[in-house]
Amino acid sequence: MSDGDCEKCEELLQGYLDRDLTPAEVTIAEGHLGGCEYCRRRYRFEAQLRRYIRTTASERMPAGLMAKLTELRGPTADGL
Amino acid sequence: MSESGATEPEEDAGRRVANEARERVHFEEEALGLADQVYRVARRMVGTREEAEELVQDTYARAFRSWRSFTPGTNMRAWLLRILTNLNTDRGRKIQRTPDQQPLEESDYYLANRLAAVEGEQALEEEQVVERLSQGSVVNALAELPHDFRDVVVLVDLGEFSYADAAQILDIPIGTVMSRLHRGRRILKQALAEETLT
């Protein structure tokens, strides 16, 4: 496996994780990942990292905010 | 004129008012159901919890006033975040850095390579390798991203919006979403490497 192939794989990897590659690019990325331990480890790492960032940086709405938002609603018409 | 002819327009008007009220209530309920998801995105776009709460309240106040401009059947979460990002810009967020002063980011593999250099290539195989990065460091690294990059990373990677939705929310071309996203993620990984592996 040449370094050029790993560079190409690195370039495609984010798009691959975003499912944003053309079918031809997917073939290149998967063909390379299938045979390259170095890139495969990095692929798994990147996938884990994505999930980790999403869960750790996500903060639930504070208690009490929903009540404040509900107060902003328009007047409720009778009989609805 | 017959009796029915005289009363029908009134009934129509009454029905129209009732229908509109029902549509509005339906809109409000759907919007409130998305509040937690809207807050999660807002929280990472601003510095403090108080600012995020205020921003979400301003967003809902405006959304409830202009509910008629929402097209039923389209993506309401994206519609709400469009309002939110506009308000956030209006709040006088300073225009930071011109493009040539943007940080120079490392390659996509930078964080993985640094980790492998410190802990060995095998460390990358570990099941929970990313948990070496503390929650605080992830939050800090996001907060320190230049806001153009941060908005895109937060919308796509936290909010799980498509490139197309992010482009619409921020009113920028899709190509700009992609380049900011890719560069923003690299800057983020660089910051994480520097913060946790040195």
Q: What is the ipTM of this complex?
A: 0.86
Show the tokens assigned to B85: 């990002």
User: Distance between CA atoms of B110 and B125, rounded to whole angstroms?
Assistant: 16
Instruction: Look at residue A78 and tell me whether its pLDDT is greater than 80.
Output: no
Please say whether the beta carbons of B28 and B67 come within 8 A: yes
Distance from CA of A35 to the nearest CA of B (A): 16
Q: What is the pLDDT of residue B128?
A: 83
Band (B5; pLDDT cuts 50, 70, 90): low
Q: What is the pLDDT of residue B101?
A: 59
Q: Radius of gyration (Cα) for chain A, nearest Å?
A: 23
**Mean local confidence (pLDDT), A75-80:** 56
- Kindly state whether A1 is in contact with chain B, defined as any CB-CB distance less than 8 angstroms: no
- What residues of B are in contact with residue A38 (Cβ under 8 Å)? 121
Q: CA angle B16-B21-B26, nearest 5°? A: 125
Q: What is the pLDDT of residue A4?
A: 82
Cβ distance B60 to A69 less than 8 Å, yes or no, reads yes
Q: Per-residue pLDDT tens for A3-61?
A: 789 999 999 999 999 988 999 999 999 999 999 999 999 999 999 999 999 999 999 99
Q: Where are the domains of chain B?
A: 3-90, 99-196
Provide CB contacts within 8 A for B99, sequence distance 6+.
Answer: none
Q: Per-residue pLDDT tens for B135-188?
A: 889 999 999 999 999 999 999 999 999 999 999 999 999 999 999 999 999 999
Provide CB contacts within 8 A for B137, sequence distance 6+.
Answer: B192, B195, B196
Q: Which of residues 166-195 of B touch A (CB under 8 A)?
A: 178, 182, 185, 188-189
Cβ distance A52 to B49 less than 8 Å, yes or no, reads no
B3-90, what's its fold? Rna Polymerase Sigma Factor; Chain: A (1.10.1740)
Q: Is A68 helix (H, G, I), strand (E, B) or coil?
A: helix
Which secondary structure element, helix H or strand E, spans residue B114, and what is its range? helix B110-119
Considering the domain B99-196, what is its CATH architecture?
Orthogonal Bundle (1.10)
Q: What is the pLDDT of residue B182?
A: 93
Instruction: Look at residue B6 and tell me whether its pLDDT is greater than 90.
Output: no
**Mean local confidence (pLDDT), B103-118:** 87
Q: Where are the domains of chain A?
A: 3-59
Q: What is the pLDDT of residue B127?
A: 80
Please say whether the beta carbons of A43 and A13 come within 8 A: yes
Q: Per-residue pLDDT tens for B59-107?
A: 999 999 999 999 999 999 999 999 999 999 888 665 554 454 566 778 8
